[in-house]
Amino acid sequence: MDIHILRHAVAVERGTEGYDRDSERPLTPDGKKKMEEIAGGMHALGLAFDLILSSPYLRARQTAEIVAGVFGGTVEFSDHLSADGNAQELVRELRQRARDANSVLLVGHEPYLSGLISVLLSGNPRVGLTMKKGGLCKLSVQDLRYGPCASLEWLLTPKQLRSLRIR
C-alpha cells in the first residue's frame, strides 16, 4: 500500500481574533489558492487515492476537500489525525478502513505527521523530519503496523508540487 501524507495548507494564525478554538482555524485565501496548485501538482504526478482520510480540524478538512475536488473523491475523517491524535490508534483504524486499498491519503498537522512518518520508517518518533504546510510524503508499506514497516519513496515541498504541470 502507498500512504501519502499531506500537511494542511497555510491557515489563519493561532490566536487570531474570532478563532478561539484551534480546531476552527480555516485556510487563508492564499492557502486555498496554493493548495489548489498543490493538488494540481499531485494530479500531474498521476496519483490516485482509494481513501482520503483527514483530521476533522477545519484547516485539514478544507485541504482534503480541495484535493478530493481535483481527484473526484470524498473525504472521510478520523479524530486520530487531529493535532493531538493517537498514531497507534490511527494505524489500527487504517488496517480496518484501508485493508483493500492500494493508495491512501492522510491529511493532518505538524508535529504529529512527522512523528507518524518517523515511527513508520524507523520505530522512533523523533527522526529529524519536518513537513512544510502543503508538503506531501509518500511511503510504501507492505504490512502496516505501528513501528518500522515503511520505505520512504519521496518527500516534496509545496513549492515543488506547485511547479508540476499536467502534460
Q: What digits encode the pLDDT tens for the residues 151-160?
A: 999 999 999 9
CATH number at residue 84: 3.40.50.1240
How many domains does the structure of the chain reveal? Answer: 1
List Cβ neighbours of 156 (8 Å cut-off, separation of 6 or more): 135, 136, 137
| Residue 40 neighbours by CB under 8 Å, 6+ apart | 70, 162, 164, 165, 166
Residue span of the structural domain in which 52 resides: 2-163
User: Is the bond preceding residue 111 a cis peptide, omega within 30 degrees?
Assistant: yes
Whether 167 has a pLDDT exceeding 70, the answer reads no
Between CA 5 and CA 113 the distance in angstroms is 7
Among 21-25, 49-53, 61-65, 131-135, the least confident range: 21-25
Mean of the per-residue pLDDT values of the chain: 95
30-50 mean pLDDT: 97
Q: Among the listed ranges 6-10, 19-23, 94-98, which one has the minimum average pLDDT value? A: 19-23
- pLDDT value, residue 123: 94
Q: What is the pLDDT of residue 19?
A: 87
- The grid cell for 166 is 499536467
Given this model, what pLDDT does residue 20 score? 86
Indicate the range of 10-24, 34-48, 108-122, 138-152 predicted with least confidence.
10-24
* Phi then psi dihedrals of residue 96, to 5 deg: -80, -55
58-90: pLDDT as tens digits: 999 999 999 999 999 899 999 999 999 999 999
- The angle subtended at Cα 106 by Cα 39 and Cα 6, nearest 5°, is 45
